[in-house]
Amino acid sequence: MSDLLNTVVSAGTFEGNQELRSRSELTAKEVMREVGAVLRMSEADVALLAEVEADPGEDQTMIINMGPQHPSTHGVLRLMLELKGETVLRCKPIIGYLHTGMEKTGESLTFMQGGTNVTRMDYASPLNNELVFSMATEKLLGIDGDIPERAVWMRMLLSEMNRMSSHLLFMASNGMDIGAVSMMLYGWREREEVLRFFQKVTGLRMNHNFIRPGGVAADLPAGWRDDVLEILEMLGPRLDEYDTLMTGQPIWRERLQGVGVITRDEAIALGATGPILRSTGLAWDLRRDMPYLNYKDVDFDVIVGSYGDAFDRYAIRLAEIRESMRIVRQILGKMPGGDFRIQNKKVTPPPRARIDESMEALIHHFKIFTEGFKVPEGEVYVAIESPRGEIGCYIASDGSATPYRMHVRAPSFVNVQALPHMMRGGLVADAVAVISSVDPVLGEVDR
Partner 1 sequence: MTTDVLHDCVLGQSHGQSVLFVPKDRYIATLRKLIDDSYTMCVDLTAVDFLTHPGRTLPEAIAPERFEIVVNLLSMRDRTRLRLRTQVSEADASIDSAFDLYPGTEAMEREVFDMFGITFNGHPDLTRILMPEDWDGHPLRKDYSQGRIPVQFKGSAS
Q: Which parts of this chain interact with partner 1 (CB under 8 A)?
A: 1, 4-11, 13-18, 27, 29-30, 33, 38-40, 95-96, 99, 101, 103-105, 107-108, 139-140, 142, 268-273, 282, 284, 289-290, 377-381, 383, 390, 392, 394, 396, 398, 404-405, 407, 409, 413-414, 416-417, 446-447
For partner 1, the closer CB: 147 or 178 = 147
User: How buried is 446 (Cβ within 10 angstroms: 0-12 exposed, 13-18 middle, 19+ buried)?
Assistant: buried
For partner 1, the closer CB: 104 or 189 = 104
Q: How far is the CB of 416 from partner 1 (least distance, A)?
A: 8
Q: How far is the CB of 44 from partner 1 (least distance, A)?
A: 14
Q: How far is the CB of 196 from partner 1 (least distance, A)?
A: 35
Mention every residue, 6+ apart, whose C-beta is less than 8 A from residue 156.
293, 294, 295, 298, 327, 331
For partner 1, the closer CB: 209 or 397 = 397
349 backbone φψ class: left, alpha, beta (φ>0; ψ -120 to 50): beta
- Contacts by 223-226, CB closer than 8 A, 24 or more apart: 224/197, 224/200, 225/332
Closest CA to 81 of 432, 420, 436, 430: 420
DSSP letter, residue 180: -
For partner 1, the closer CB: 3 or 226 = 3
CB distance 437 to 418 below 8 Å = no
Q: How far is the CB of 115 from partner 1 (least distance, A)?
A: 19
For partner 1, the closer CB: 106 or 187 = 106
Q: Point out which residues pair with 17 in neighbouring strands.
A: none
Q: How far is the CB of 445 from partner 1 (least distance, A)?
A: 9
Q: How far is the CB of 414 from partner 1 (least distance, A)?
A: 6
What sign does the dihedral 309-184-122-239 (CA atoms) show?
Answer: negative
Query: Around 220, how many Cα atoms within 13 Å sit in the side-chain half-sphere?
Result: 22
Distances (CA, A) of 254 to 248, 420, 428, 433, 439: 11, 21, 15, 11, 19
Q: How far is the CB of 359 from partner 1 (least distance, A)?
A: 32
Q: How far is the CB of 400 from partner 1 (least distance, A)?
A: 9
SS3 112: coil
Q: How far is the CB of 417 from partner 1 (least distance, A)?
A: 5
For partner 1, the closer CB: 2 or 244 = 2
3-state secondary structure 140-160: HHCCCCCCCHHHHHHHHHHHH
Closest CA to 331 of 202, 157, 200, 211: 157
For partner 1, the closer CB: 321 or 383 = 383
Q: How far is the CB of 92 from partner 1 (least distance, A)?
A: 9
SS3 414: helix
3-state secondary structure 333-354: HHCCCCCCECCCCCCCCCCHHH
Q: How far is the CB of 209 from partner 1 (least distance, A)?
A: 21
| Nearest-angstrom CA–CA distance, 19 and 24 | 14
Query: Measured between alpha carbons, how far apart are the two ends of the chain, in Å?
Result: 27
How remote is the C-alpha of 411 from its chain's centroid?
A: 5
For partner 1, the closer CB: 14 or 333 = 14
For partner 1, the closer CB: 155 or 409 = 409
For partner 1, the closer CB: 96 or 351 = 96
| Nearest-angstrom CA–CA distance, 119 and 292 | 19
Closest CA to 160 of 186, 197, 134: 197
Query: Which residue type occupies 238?
Result: R
For partner 1, the closer CB: 76 or 164 = 76
